[in-house]
Amino acid sequence: MHSHIHWNLKRAAAVALAAVLLWSCFYVVTEGEAAIVTLFGRPVRTVKDDAGLHFKWPIEGLLRFERRVMVYSPRPSEFLTRDKKNLVLDSDVLWRIDTPDLFLKTVGDVVTAEMRLHDIVWAALAAEIGKVELSDLVSDKAEPVKTPRVMEQVTGAACAVATRQFGIELVDVQLKRLTFPEQNKKSVFARMRAERERIAKQYRAQGEEAAMKIRAEADKQREVLLAGAYREAEEIKGKGDAESTRIYGEAYSRDPQFYKLVRTLDSYRKILDDKTSIILSSDSELLKLLTQGRGKGGAQ
């Protein structure tokens, strides 16, 4: 009985040992992951783009690496364009480990990788930005800005270096933000304000211009209307005057003498008022009778 239990224990131990050995013989590489098998710290084999179950000797060690894309955002820094304009570029680097063994040998971890990437990307950006002018990057003109091409160049140049030296693949270097340095912003804002003032003035002046046009047009229209009406009115009045003259003439010419008489008498009525003094000669037609007596005058 004793030996039996002993035997059982031995067997269990053997099974457990075998399990442990078996367990340490296999490892799983997950999707989006790479692994390096090491022997006493020295890389032996690399598993890349091959997720699944893999074999290694139990004495071999294992290092796992992220193969998915990671984002690194360097601090925004200042660059000089060809036309000596300062620009602050805020970029993002999308990167991933391309060659795990080279990465392990030269970089080792993500923090160090980001330091290396900072230098590489900075150098590439400085070189490319120095080749273009501000107006190539910032422009509302019809021809497209050169930014995409510049960033392509930067990505290409930086990627070549990073891949060769550190086993890092740069998926994309993106230009997230493009601004002026803080010390330049004051003058930019001043310029913006001046521009706004100009536009505001222009709007108001345009308003005045249009308003003046409209008012002048209205005044002109009024003048035209009134002048036209005056002309018409005078024409009508003239016709009336002419007609009445014709009527008078026609009527009076039938007996001019009588007309003269009547008209003269009418004129007397109008001309002679209470301020008029008249000196009448006693032999005037009116007073003849008064001075000469009825006898003489009555004969007439």
Partner 1 sequence: MEHSNHSHPHPEPHAHSHSHVHSHAHPHAQGGRLHELRHRLHHLRKQTSMGRVALVALILYLLSGVYFVSADQQAVVLVLGRVRESRVLPGMRWTLPFPFSRVEKLKVLETKRLTVGIEAPDQVLGRGAGEVKAQFLTGDQNIINIRLAVQYLVEDPVLYLFSARDVTSVIARTVETILSSVVVRRPVDDLLTRDKIAVQNEVQTGAQELLHRFGVSISSISIESIAPPDEVLEAFRDVASAREDRERIVREAESYSNDVVPRARGEAERLRQEASSYCERKVNEALGDAARFASLATEYKKAQDVTSARLFLETMEEVLPRMKKIVVESGPGGIDLDLIQRKQ
- Span 30-89, contacts to partner 1 by CB under 8 A: 30-33, 51-53, 66, 68-71, 73, 75-77, 88
Residue number with CB closer to partner 1 (20 or 164): 20
Residue number with CB closer to partner 1 (60 or 92): 92
Does residue 214 belong to the site contacting partner 1 (CB under 8 A)? yes
Residue number with CB closer to partner 1 (119 or 232): 232
Name 47's Cβ contacts closer than 8 Å, sequence gap at least 6. Answer: 29, 34, 35, 36, 37, 54
User: What CA dihedral angle connects 229, 235, 241 and 242, to 10 degrees?
Assistant: -170
Residue number with CB closer to partner 1 (119 or 285): 285
Which tokens belong to 73? 């955002």
Does residue 119 belong to the site contacting partner 1 (CB under 8 A)? no
Does residue 149 belong to the site contacting partner 1 (CB under 8 A)? no
Residue 77 three-state SS: strand
Q: Is 96 in contact with 54 (CB distance < 8 Å)?
A: no
Restricted to residues 160-189, the positions that interact with partner 1 (CB under 8 A) are: 172, 174-180, 182, 185, 188-189
* Nearest distance, CB of residue 284 and partner 1, angstroms: 8
Q: What is residue 145's DSSP assignment?
A: P
- Of the residues 63, 145, 289, 297, which one makes contact with partner 1 according to CB under 8 A: 145
- The per-residue b/e assignment along 188-214, b for 16 or more CB within 10 angstroms, e otherwise, is eeeeeeeeeeeeeeeeeeeeeeeeeee
Compose the 231-270 pattern: x for residues touching partner 1 by CB under 8 A, - for all others: -xxxxxx-xxx-xxxxxx-xxx-xx--xx-xx--x--xx-
